[in-house]
């Protein structure tokens, strides 16, 4: 586990440096907009999506450097989704990752634009980098842009947010479907984008997609568990908020013990998917375990 | 001019059909989100950006059908920008194209998501279509995604909105720079994207880019003129609003007559740019004139 911690620390620091380099700045980007985007990007977070993206590129034997632009783009998109989700018209959160949300410090209008800017720059970045005219590289980039857009779009993340916004209690299938879109789709896109950039075979990409789908579900179950258990410091947001808002959660539907077992079973299925393509020895499964054990 | 009107009418009807076909729908996209996106897309508008995109593909001797996905993506992006721009935290407009704005009919949260959805689906569409593995086609698509993302991003449209949001009076250079980003960048991207999809040479693409830059400036000058002259029915929005909001405008800086002459001079420069690459006989210049003469 120490080995994994070192790996994650090293990766996070490389990702943070790449994110800062990829952020637009003056004079091309107006200073107030650049500041707003940077505020939310440097606020931190686990960098789960870029880490998964890079690890997937490595898992298929590729060069993770080729996946770094997509990794940064995915963090841009994740961050934009948090900025818009925190707006008064959406979840109305004033605290995120232990800091005031962007609309609190920069105003709602600038928060909307910073989110729009991060989403758009994510695609600009993937179209621009890695540089090169090689037709195989260009084909991978174009495919990855499609994967990321689909994961972030109306059949994925934005669709999940629309279901969440509609409100009302969900049954087990409805809850699973909502989370599969809202959180799961971008986590899957992160892993498959990395596998594509790394030059994985269709079989490898498909196995990694299935494993990432299980990671995404486990991630959400544990998020709900942590919300109930009040690990406010860990989440950096107000604990118990989901329950107080009357939202459907895994602990509410299944109880805490069964919820934790469900998350563990997700990992078993992910392990089987990875093993089917001899990918079980990669970092991916360790990262999946880290997702589930992050409360410890 | 009748010939142009027929051309525009035929093009608009093909574009409207393609837009409807490109819009996501249930079950992949939640119904309420799909409805919100469709509401703003079918609300109409001149379809200037897709028309420019298709006409540019033709001007360089290409098949405009290859440019239709990018044309629709550009209208998705234009429409998302209007939805977000109309929000209470931005321009706070309740009327657009003669109809209630989306946040009035669907709520602010859904309007934010519908905008996010249109922006994301624009990139999904350009990555997906035109279908085919041909490396020349894939390279054109990847290049166009980069052009559109740059035009819509922080150095382009979103950057212009951030400058506009900051408020305060602008001098002539500041006003021109703000509009070059806010309106001009996406109009330029529309024309160059079409020229790239149509297989234009670098020289043709560059000439079309310069002409479109002049069209974009003329468009904005005339928009300001119409705002003053109160052509409310033509604009479908509240007349005199810019002046009332204390915003810098061309008529405020230069007066109405000089503003109109400036718009006309833009067309002269556009004609020269197109003529330099033997593109003056294309539809492009007629479309530029239509932009300037739309109040008549």
Average pLDDT for chain A:
93
What is the least distance, in Å, from the CA of B158 to any CA of chain A? Answer: 6
Average pLDDT score over residue span B153-171:
93
Residue B238: pLDDT over 80: no
Residue A232: pLDDT over 50: no
Note which residues in 86-145 of chain B have CB less than 8 A from chain A. 87, 89-90, 107-113, 115-117, 119-121, 123-124, 127-128, 133, 135, 138-139, 141-143, 145
Residue A264: pLDDT over 70: yes
Query: Cα(first)–Cα(last) distance of chain B, in Å?
Result: 12
Inspect the interface and report whether the beta carbons of B113 and A162 lie closer than 8 Å.
yes
Residue B60: pLDDT over 70: yes
Output the six-digit token pair for B111: 């309007």
Residue A131: pLDDT over 80: yes
Residue B255: pLDDT over 90: yes
Average pLDDT score over residue span A40-65:
96
B28 in A contact zone (CB under 8 Å) = yes
pTM score of the predicted model = 0.95
Average pLDDT score over residue span B209-233:
87
Q: Which of A113-117, A214-218, B173-177, B230-234 has the weakest average pLDDT?
A: B230-234
Name the residue facing B135 among A90, A115, A139 (closest C-beta): A139
* Beta-carbon count within 10 A of A104 CB: 16
Report domain extents, chain A.
2-292
Q: A–B: how many Cβ contacts below 8 A?
A: 166
Distance CA B293, CA A149 (A): 38
pLDDT at res. A240: 59
Query: Cα(first)–Cα(last) distance of chain A, in Å?
Result: 12
Inspect the interface and report whether the beta carbons of A113 and B145 lie closer than 8 Å.
no
> DSSP per residue over A74-107, as a string?
HHHHHHHHHHHHTSTTTT--SEETTEE-HHHHH-
A152 in B contact zone (CB under 8 Å) = yes
> DSSP per residue over B125-185, as a string?
HHHH-S----HHHHHHHHHHHHHHHHHHSTTTHHHHHHHHHH-S---HHHHHHHHIIIIIH
Average pLDDT score over residue span B9-13:
96
Residue A296: pLDDT over 50: no
pLDDT at res. A188: 98
In this prediction the ipTM stands at 0.94
Name the closest residue on chain B to residue A144, using Cα atoms: B127
pLDDT at res. B104: 97
Residue B97: pLDDT over 90: no
pLDDT level of residue A42 (50, 70, 90 thresholds): very high
Residue A190: pLDDT over 90: yes
pLDDT at res. B185: 98
pLDDT level of residue A169 (50, 70, 90 thresholds): confident
pLDDT level of residue B232 (50, 70, 90 thresholds): very low
Alpha helices per DSSP H over B43-107: 48-59, 64-85, 102-106
Average pLDDT score over residue span A37-55:
95
CATH 2.40.50.140 for domain B2-292, yes or no, is no
Inspect the interface and report whether the beta carbons of B127 and A139 lie closer than 8 Å.
no
Inspect the interface and report whether the beta carbons of A145 and B146 lie closer than 8 Å.
no
* Beta-carbon count within 10 A of A63 CB: 14
Half-sphere exposure of A144 (CA within 13 A, CB side): 37
Inspect the interface and report whether the beta carbons of A159 and B115 lie closer than 8 Å.
no
Handedness of CA A4, A10, A12, A14 (dihedral sign): negative
pLDDT at res. B182: 95
Average pLDDT score over residue span A241-257:
80
Average pLDDT score over residue span B127-148:
97
pLDDT at res. B98: 86
Q: Which of A18-27, A222-231, A281-290, B199-208 has the weakest average pLDDT?
A: A222-231
Average pLDDT for chain B:
93
pLDDT at res. B168: 80
pLDDT at res. A65: 97
pLDDT at res. B296: 38
- CA neighbor of B186 nearest in space, from A116, A185, A227: A116
């Amino acid at each position: 586990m120490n080995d994994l911690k070192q790996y994650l620390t090293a990766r996070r620091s490389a990702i943070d440096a790449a994110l800062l380099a990829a952020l637009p700045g003056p004079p091309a980007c107006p200073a107030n907009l650049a500041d707003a985007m940077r505020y939310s990007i440097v606020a931190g977070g686990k960098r789960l999506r870029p880490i998964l993206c890079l690890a997937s590129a490595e898992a298929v034997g590729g060069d993770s450097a080729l996946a770094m632009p997509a990794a940064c783009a995915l963090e841009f998109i994740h961050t934009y989704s948090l900025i818009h989700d925190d707006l008064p018209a959406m979840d109305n959160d004033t605290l995120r990752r232990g800091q005031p949300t962007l609309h609190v410090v920069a105003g709602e209008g600038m928060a909307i634009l910073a989110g729009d800017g991060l989403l758009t720059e994510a695609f600009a970045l993937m179209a621009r980098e890695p540089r090169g005219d090689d037709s195989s590289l260009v084909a991978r980039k174009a495919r990855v842009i499609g994967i990321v857009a689909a994961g972030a779009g109306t059949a994925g993340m934005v669709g999940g947010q629309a279901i969440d916004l509609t409100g009302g209690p969900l049954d087990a299938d409805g809850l699973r479907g909502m989370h599969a879109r809202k959180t799961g789709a971008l986590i899957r896109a992160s892993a498959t984008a990395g596998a594509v950039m790394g030059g994985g075979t269709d079989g490898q990409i498909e196995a990694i997609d299935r494993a990432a789908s299980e990671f995404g579900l486990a991630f959400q179950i544990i998020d709900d568990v942590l919300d109930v258990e009040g690990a406010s410091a860990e989440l950096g947001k107000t604990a118990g908020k989901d329950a107080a808002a009357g939202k459907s959660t895994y602990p509410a539907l299944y109880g805490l013990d069964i919820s934790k077992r469900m998350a563990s079973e997700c990992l078993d299925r992910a392990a089987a998917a990875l093993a089917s393509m001899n990918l079980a020895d990669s970092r991916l499964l360790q990262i999946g375990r880290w997702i589930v054990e992050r409360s410890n």
